Amino acid sequence: MNQQPEQSNQSENKSLIYLMLGIFLNQSKQLNNSQQLTKSDKQQFKTQKDERVRYLIFFGLMFFLFIHSFWKYGILNQAIGLIMPRASAQVAIVNSASGFVPDWSRLRFSDMIIGENGSVTYPTSRGTESRIWRAGQSIAEFMELGDFETPELAIESLNLSTIARVQRINLNQQRLSDFQLTRWQTLPNLVRAVPSLGNRSVGSVRPIRDFVRRFGINGGTIANASRYTSLRNIELGRGINLRNYPLTSIPNIQNASINRFANWQDSKIIGVPGLSTLTWDNLPGLRSLDLSFVGKVDLVLRDIEANRVRSISGSYQEGFNVPCLQPNCAHVEMAGVGRTTGTQWISGKVQLVRGGFGILRVLNGGKEPTGRHPFGSAFKQVVWNIDEASGKVQTAMFFRICKRIAFVRTCSPYFIGYVPFIDYWEKDPIVFGQPNSLP
């Protein structure tokens, strides 16, 4: 009796153990399958990732080759040219009856930006001087008034009062040091330059009073003080600090024309308050320009052209029909009345000609880019960048250095540049200026 229940309990316990063992084995199998599935998913993900990387490398390489081909064969430049607007010239222009001319009402020294670095050393009456310029710099910062001593501008006939009125400058807020040429004026120089200054008493003009007191002079008129030999050759800037005095502390200095001052040519453009931003329509000499000789841009031709003999470009020294007798004669072919058609304006990038006069003619090896002077001798217009495919030509301005050495004026070749000027396209009108000789 007692033996049967015992066997029954053992049987039930065995069944329970088998059941639990089965459940455990089943869960272990499921876990093992789950782990195998996870590893498979990871392997598949890794494979997909590797494929994406290979695709990225492939398309990146293709894109690089595509861009390289565009750049190498000029296709990229042409494509950009189709979607971008035409580049505008540095100088604003108007289409006058004579052709494209600068918009003088918008042309200023401060906007004339030099395109290349340069430097030069030269002799003057005061010893050796140097000019240094950097690309991106305004010419007003290093060009001097004497470089523009030309009847086409007549810049020297201006006075501070006229400039200040146009520019709305309060001269009472300027210092004597802002008017650069006051540094080297002697007292006799000032008496000759400034109207009625000599009739004033020394004590009534503070800068003069402080200047002459250093030499023991305390009274009398300024004219009398200027006769003292002890200060006859002493420059104002060496006797007093010009920054300590308002510009108008010397009465009537603003009414004296620039050319009344001694060695006014040596002042930088920025050395005259308001001049660097004065528009050129305020320069009286421009009214005398002769714009009667005109034509049209016919063909724009690059350096494959050689030995061009019907030139209308050159220099004051060689004339303006200098042939280009060399393999590279990039030029613009012109059209116009009579024999003007077929003439060639040679690029200054490929042809240099003689320039300059006097002592300074030796600067830059005595050479300057070939070109013309349609707007006078203040600067030279030079054919610069030529794009035969689009029919576009970019011209540039070039400038020169002029000095008076031993009272004789001398000028270098026109080699300071380039400054972007007027852009032309085929069939655009162009002013040639004088002379109107044709080859």
Q: What pLDDT, in 10s, does the model give residues 414-430?
A: 999 999 999 999 999 99
Encoded amino acid at 390, one letter:
S
Residue 49 phi/psi, 5-degree rounding, is -65, -45
- Taking a C-beta distance cutoff of 8 angstroms, is the pair 386, 302 a contact? yes
pLDDT score for 48? 59
Residue 291 phi/psi, 5-degree rounding, is -110, 30
pLDDT in tens, 336-361: 988 999 999 999 999 999 999 999 99
Average pLDDT, the chain: 85
Q: What separation in angstroms does the CA of 363 have from each of 38, 123, 168?
A: 83, 10, 39
| 9 compared with 344, residue with greater pLDDT | 344
- Taking a C-beta distance cutoff of 8 angstroms, is the pair 139, 419 a contact? yes
Encoded amino acid at 205, one letter:
V
Q: What separation in angstroms does the CA of 329 have from each of 131, 219, 241, 326?
A: 31, 70, 56, 7
Nearest to 237 by CA among 168, 305, 176: 176
d(CA 115, CA 409): 28
Tokens coding 79: 């494509």
In sequence order, what E strands does 195-267 have? none
Give the contacts of 96 (CB within 8 A, at least 6 positions apart): 291
In sequence order, what E strands does 266-375 have? 294-301, 331-335, 344-346, 352-354, 367-369
pLDDT at 82 over 60: no
pLDDT classification of 8: cutoffs 50, 70, 90: very low
**In this predicted structure, which of 60-74, 252-266, 397-411 has the lowest mean pLDDT?**
60-74
pLDDT score for 47? 59
d(CA 206, CA 249): 7
Tokens coding 320: 């303006």
